[in-house]
Amino acid sequence: MITRHPGTWRPRNGSDAAQRSGVAPKRVIKPDPAIDRILFKRYDLAPDDCIFIDGSANNVETARALGMQGIHFVEPIDVRVALAACRLAV
């Protein structure tokens, strides 16, 4: 997940991680939207300030339904083009 902060986009990683996997209780699995809602609350994020990238079209559709921008990862160039359209340097 990538989030927008005043005028910029940045990946959330390290101790600031907002990774979908591994943050929710074990009974919640992708593409359950509860995972994303946990992240929104934990990191004080607005869905429209987030970009979600995944290889599963179903997971991307779930993210979009929650208000995030979703990018379906098929080929690396497609992701680069989509991120460039968001004005995110890649």
The one-letter amino acid code at 67 reads G
Question: What's the predicted TM-score (pTM) here?
Answer: 0.71
User: How far is 14 from 62, CA to CA, in rounded Å?
Assistant: 25
Tens digit of pLDDT for each residue in 4-25? 554 554 555 433 334 555 555 6
What pLDDT, in 10s, does the model give residues 14-54? 333 345 555 556 677 777 888 888 888 888 888 988 888 88
Does residue 61 carry a pLDDT above 90? Answer: yes
The beta strands (E) that lie in 45-88 are given as: 50-54, 69-72
Strands of 8-11's sheet, edge to edge? 8-11, 2-5, 50-54, 69-72
